[in-house]
């Protein structure tokens, strides 16, 4: 369940190397954040970007700002019967803000800023993810999932050994403790609980985002169900998008989250179905608009369908390759989010 990714932004030129792990519920070691943590972090950071950028455009003075975002996902059905499916539920966003606006003016300001986030493009509407598939260096046609036009990208092989880290004085991601228990919540966190062949469960991830005095966003992510850990992330936009680039930007975390979550589903399938795989890797393209406020477009944020090239090295046959791709897309929480129309539930200065 331990994975790593190199995330490259064509707009900023920045490349970040990120690692992900899972907890006991997937027989992981909990040494790095789970995939959904990256997505929640990027999403709430993106909302923070747009609110602060919109305030500058509107000459609104913000004295204090704190965002609390709750993401919920579902897993239902049977893997052996091919009925298991991941789902995504509407996002809850609580905005605690002290500024010059109030009442309807404040509500309109926050709603417009939320809609300006590029993540709006993944949430609103229904995006069908696209895939290309290779087994043992031979490209296969896809079966149930939508296929990409043209040839699969050349197999990237191992790019990680070539990556040379830049020095930084910042601790970008750190584990700070165990998630607290939620009273009355059904916590599906037993060892290997997410690897059972039949499942009916709900996941809950929370991200709390604040701004440091130096402009870097601090996000504390908590995995409540299945019960995991609390990780602290730092995020900042690159110079091309108004920051200094001292930490990964919002789109980097979002893109990493989607890739990591999809890869986790391959591991789950292999464990549940007891199939053999020597290696599996992906190249994923995500396409986002500029932010409506941070990019000064004045438009709602938008995105294109996620495009993923899958490379399998396995003694199993082509039927297996297509099946594991189909089921990994079907059980991926974040591909489910892309294909589901989800309007965020926004609360402003909640009691």
Sequence ranges of the domains in the chain: 3-9+16-348
* pLDDT score, position 182: 74
Residue 304's nearest CA partner among 290, 289, 292, 287 is 287
How does DSSP classify residue 349?
A: S
CB 39 within 8 A of CB 192: no
Average pLDDT over residues 161-176: 91
Residue 264's nearest CA partner among 318, 143, 340, 256 is 256
Summarised one tens digit per residue, pLDDT across range 279-311 is 999 999 999 999 999 999 999 999 999 999 999
What are the tokens at 241?
């998008």
Given the candidates 3.30.2130.30, 3.30.200.20, 3.30.360.10, 3.30.300.20, the CATH classification of the domain at 3-9+16-348 is: 3.30.300.20
What are the tokens at 41?
């972090």
For residues 301 and 241, give the distance between their C-alpha atoms in angstroms, rounded to a whole number: 15
**What are the start-end ranges of the E strands in the chain?**
3-8, 15-20, 62-78, 85-88, 92-99, 130-135, 138-140, 146-147, 173-178, 198-211, 217-225, 229-235, 279-285, 307-313, 345-348
Angle, helix 103-116 to helix 35-57, in steps of 10 degrees: 130
For residues 258 and 338, give the distance between their C-alpha atoms in angstroms, rounded to a whole number: 10
pLDDT classification of 189: cutoffs 50, 70, 90: low
233 SS3 class: strand
Secondary structure tally for the chain: helices H, strands E = 6, 15
pLDDT classification of 232: cutoffs 50, 70, 90: very high
Indicate whether 190 pLDDT > 70.
yes
Average pLDDT over residues 58-86: 97
- Give the containing element (helix H, strand E) for 34: none
Q: Which string of DSSP letters, residue by residue, matches 151-171?
A: PPPPP----GGG--PPP-SS-
Summarised one tens digit per residue, pLDDT across range 29-57 is 999 999 999 999 999 999 999 999 999 99
Indicate whether 188 pLDDT > 70.
no
Average pLDDT over residues 152-178: 92
Q: Dihedrals φ, ψ of 141, to 5°? A: -75, 150
Indicate whether 185 pLDDT > 60.
no
> What radius of gyration do the chain's Cα atoms show?
20
For residues 262 and 45, give the distance between their C-alpha atoms in angstroms, rounded to a whole number: 22
Summarised one tens digit per residue, pLDDT across range 194-206 is 999 999 999 999 9
Q: What share of the chain is helix, strand, coil (3-state, %, to 5)?
A: 30, 30, 40
Indicate whether 125 pLDDT > 90.
no
């Amino acid at each position: 369940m331990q994975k790593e990714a190199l995330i490259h932004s064509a707009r900023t030129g920045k490349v970040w190397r990120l690692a992900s792990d899972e907890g006991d519920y997937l027989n992981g070691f909990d040494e790095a954040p789970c995939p959904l943590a990256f997505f929640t972090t990027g999403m709430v950071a993106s909302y923070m970007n747009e609110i602060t950028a919109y305030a500058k455009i509107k000459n609104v003075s913000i004295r204090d700002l704190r965002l609390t975002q709750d993401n919920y996902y579902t897993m239902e059905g049977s893997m052996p019967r091919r009925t298991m499916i991941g789902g995504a539920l509407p996002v809850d966003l609580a905005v605690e803000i002290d500024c010059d606006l109030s009442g309807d003016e404040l509500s309109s300001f926050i709603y417009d800023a939320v809609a300006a986030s590029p993540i709006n493009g993944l949430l609103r509407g229904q995006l069908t993810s696209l895939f290309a598939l290779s087994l043992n260096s031979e490209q296969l046609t896809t079966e149930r999932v939508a296929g990409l036009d043209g040839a699969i990208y050349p197999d990237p092989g191992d790019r990680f050994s070539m990556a040379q880290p830049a020095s930084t004085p910042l601790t970008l991601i750190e584990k700070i403790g165990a998630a607290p228990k939620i009273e009355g919540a059904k916590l599906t966190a037993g060892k290997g609980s997410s690897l059972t062949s039949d499942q009916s469960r709900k996941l809950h991830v929370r991200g709390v985002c604040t701004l440091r005095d130096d402009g870097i966003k601090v996000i504390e992510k908590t995995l409540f169900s299945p019960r995991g850990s609390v990780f602290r992330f730092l995020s900042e936009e690159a110079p091309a998008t108004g920051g200094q680039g001292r930490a990964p930007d919002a789109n980097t975390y979002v893109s990493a989250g989607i890739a990591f979550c999809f890869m986790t589903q391959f591991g789950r399938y292999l464990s549940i179905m007891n199939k053999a795989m020597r290696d599996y890797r992906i190249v994923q393209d995500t396409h986002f608009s500029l932010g409506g406020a941070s990019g000064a477009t004045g438009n709602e944020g938008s995105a294109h369908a996620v495009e993923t090239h899958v490379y399998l090295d396995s003694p199993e046959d082509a039927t297996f390759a297509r099946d594991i791709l189909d089921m990994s897309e079907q059980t991926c929480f974040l591909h489910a989010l892309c294909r589901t129309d989800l309007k965020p539930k926004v609360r402003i200065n909640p009691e």
